[in-house]
C-alpha cells in the first residue's frame, strides 16, 4: 500500500521506517518548501499545483503535522480515505473548539477564558488570578504563540507579542507533573492504550519522556484511558491520538491539549514498547489488528535539541538507541532522540543523566518520582 503523508518532517520519517517491514511505500506532500524526511518519495507543493499527482499515487492519506489548511484535508477526503479525519484536525487546530469538546465530554481542564481584545485579556487575568498563560487560539506549538502573564499590567504587551485575533487564557495549575496518554483506535473501533508517560518541558519544548511510571496508580491510568477513549469515539477517530495532561497532588488529571498524530512523547515506544506508536498508527489506518502496547521495560526518551552530541559516546551507553533525523544544527531544532532502557527505574535514571551529560545544553533531567 502506498501511504500518502501530509508533511515531510521527522514524524513522517519515523512512520516510513515503521512501515517498510509491512511493505508500505510512502509519498510525502510537503507544503512548506522545507522537507526534512529524507526518505520515501517527497513532493514539494507550496502552491497546490501537485495535489492531483500526489493523490493519483497514494491509496490513503494520513498526516504528521496538524497545522494544515482544513480545506485541503477536506478536499483530499473527497478523493481518498484520510485518517484521522478532517474533523479531528479542525478541532485540534483550534484551542477554543478543543476546550469545548473537553467540556462536552466531561474531561476536566484548567480554568480558562476566551478573549478577543487586550482589555478583555487584562480582565481575564484579573479574574483568573496570576500567573496565567495566554495562547493563540489557532497556530502555535512548542511554546510558540503564547506568553506567561504574572501581572495584569503585562496584558497589553502580551497581546501585542502574541499578535493574534483571539486568545485563550488559562489559569496556572498547581500540578505534580506533566503527563501524556497515547492511544490508538482502529477502523473497527478497537482501542489500545500505551502506559502514561511523564514529560519534562523546558521553554515549551519537550526534553524528556519516561514510561511506564513507577508510582502511577492504576486508577489514574484508567481515568486517562477513559478520557482519551471518549475523544476517540466522539471523533470516530482512526490512528494514534495524544492527550497531554497535568496530574495534581490528589492524583486528578486536567487536560491541557491533544494532538491528532503520533507524538514526541511517544517516541520511547520505538524501542520500549512491544509495538511502537508509529507501527500501530499504520496498522490502524490500514485496518490491520492493533499491536501490543505493553512496555518492555522502563524507558526514557531524551530529545536532542539544537546541537548533537558525539554519536559514538551516546551509543556506548548501555541499551541506548540513537534516532537521528539527518537535520542541520540550529538553536531550538529537534535533531534526534535517544531511547534509553533499563531493568529498573533507578538504573534508567543513571543512564539518562549520563546521556544528558553528553548532549550540549541539555537540561538536568528531573522526574516527580525521584
Where are the extended beta strands (E) located within 87-235? 112-115, 132-136, 146-149, 167-171, 175-185, 191-193, 197-202, 205-211
Q: Is 321 annotated as a binding residue?
A: no
For the stretch 238-288, pLDDT in tens is 999 999 999 999 999 999 999 999 999 999 999 999 999 999 999 999 999
Statement: residue 194 has pLDDT above 70: yes
Q: Is 145 annotated as a binding residue?
A: yes
Q: What is the pLDDT of residue 48?
A: 83
Distance CA 110, CA 317 (A): 40
Q: Is 146 annotated as a binding residue?
A: yes
CA separation, residue 358 to residues 264, 352, 355 (Å): 21, 10, 5
Identical topology for domains 2-82 and 111-171:
no
Q: Is 95 annotated as a binding residue?
A: yes
Q: How confident is the model at residue 105 (pLDDT cuts 50, 70, 90)?
A: very high
Q: How many other β-carbons are positioned within 10 Å of the β-carbon of residue 185? A: 26
Statement: residue 144 has pLDDT above 80: no
- For residues 188 and 204, the model is more confident at 188
Q: Is 143 annotated as a binding residue?
A: yes
Q: Is 80 annotated as a binding residue?
A: no
Q: Is 263 annotated as a binding residue?
A: no
**In the chain, domain spans:** 2-82, 111-171, 175-357
Question: Is the CATH code 3.30.470.20 the one for domain 175-357?
Answer: yes
Q: Is 339 annotated as a binding residue?
A: no
Distance CA 163, CA 130 (A): 21
Q: Is 178 annotated as a binding residue?
A: yes
Residue length, the chain?
370
Report residue 313 as a C-alpha cell.
559516546
The pLDDT mean for the chain works out to 95
Q: Is 370 annotated as a binding residue?
A: no
Question: Is the CATH code 3.40.50.1820 the one for domain 111-171?
Answer: no
Q: What is the pLDDT of residue 143?
A: 61
For the stretch 301-360, pLDDT in tens is 999 999 999 999 999 999 999 999 999 999 999 999 999 999 999 999 999 999 999 999
For the stretch 161-177, pLDDT in tens is 999 999 999 999 889 99
Q: Is 186 annotated as a binding residue?
A: no
Q: Is 172 annotated as a binding residue?
A: yes
Helix axes 86-93, 70-77, angle to 10 degrees: 170
Distance CA 343, CA 331 (A): 34
Statement: residue 95 has pLDDT above 80: yes
Half-sphere exposure of 218 (CA within 13 A, CB side): 0
Statement: residue 141 has pLDDT above 80: no
Q: What is the pLDDT of residue 225?
A: 98
Average pLDDT rounded to a whole number, residues 200-207? 94
User: Which CATH architecture is the domain 2-82 placed in?
Assistant: 3-Layer(aba) Sandwich (3.40)
Q: Is 257 annotated as a binding residue?
A: yes
Amino acid at each position: 500500500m502506498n501511504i500518502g503523508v501530509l508533511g515531510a518532517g521527522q514524524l513522517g520519517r519515523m512512520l516510513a521506517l515503521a512501515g517498510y517491514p509491512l511493505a508500505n511505500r510512502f509519498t510525502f506532500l510537503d507544503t512548506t518548501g522545507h522537507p526534512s524526511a529524507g526518505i520515501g518519495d517527497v513532493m514539494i507543493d507550496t502552491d497546490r499545483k501537485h495535489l492531483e499527482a500526489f493523490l493519483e499515487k497514494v491509496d490513503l492519506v494520513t498526516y504528521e503535522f496538524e497545522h494544515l489548511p482544513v480545506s485541503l484535508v477536506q478536499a483530499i477526503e473527497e478523493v481518498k480515505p484520510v485518517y484521522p479525519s478532517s474533523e479531528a484536525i479542525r478541532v485540534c487546530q483550534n484551542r477554543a473548539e478543543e476546550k469545548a469538546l473537553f467540556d462536552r465530554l466531561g474531561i476536566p481542564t484548567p480554568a480558562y477564558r476566551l478573549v478577543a481584545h487586550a482589555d478583555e485579556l487584562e480582565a481575564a487575568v484579573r479574574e483568573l488570578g496570576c500567573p496565567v498563560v495566554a495562547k493563540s487560539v489557532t497556530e502555535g506549538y512548542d511554546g510558540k504563540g503564547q506568553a506567561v502573564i504574572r501581572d495584569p499590567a503585562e496584558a497589553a504587551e502580551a497581546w501585542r507579542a502574541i499578535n493574534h485575533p483571539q486568545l485563550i487564557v488559562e489559569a496556572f495549575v498547581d500540578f505534580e507533573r506533566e503527563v501524556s496518554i497515547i492511544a490508538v483506535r482502529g477502523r473497527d473501533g478497537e482501542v489500545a492504550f500505551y502506559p502514561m508517560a511523564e514529560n519534562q518541558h523546558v521553554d515549551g519544548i519537550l526534553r524528556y519522556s519516561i514510561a511506564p511510571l513507577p508510582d502511577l496508580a492504576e486508577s489514574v491510568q484508567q481515568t486517562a484511558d477513559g478520557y482519551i477513549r471518549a475523544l476517540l469515539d466522539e471523533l470516530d477517530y482512526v490512528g494514534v491520538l495524544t492527550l497531554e495532561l497535568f496530574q495534581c497532588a490528589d492524583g486528578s488529571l486536567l487536560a491541557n491539549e491533544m494532538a491528532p498524530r503520533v507524538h514526541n512523547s511517544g517516541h520511547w515506544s520505538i524501542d520500549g514498547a512491544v509495538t511502537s506508536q508509529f507501527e500501530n498508527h499504520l496498522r490502524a489506518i490500514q485496518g490491520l489488528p492493533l499491536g501490543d502496547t505493553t512496555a518492555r521495560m522502563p524507558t526514557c526518551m531524551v530529545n536532542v535539541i539544537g546541537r548533537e552530541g558525539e554519536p559514538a559516546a551516546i551509543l556506548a551507553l548501555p541499551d541506548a538507541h540513537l534516532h537521528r533525523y539527518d537535520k542541520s544544527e540550529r538553536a531550538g531544532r529537534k535533531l534526534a532522540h535517544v531511547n534509553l532502557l533499563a531493568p529498573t527505574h533507578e538504573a534508567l535514571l543513571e543512564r539518562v543523566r549520563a546521556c544528558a551529560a553528553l548532549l550540549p545544553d541539555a537540561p538536568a533531567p528531573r522526574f516527580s518520582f525521584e
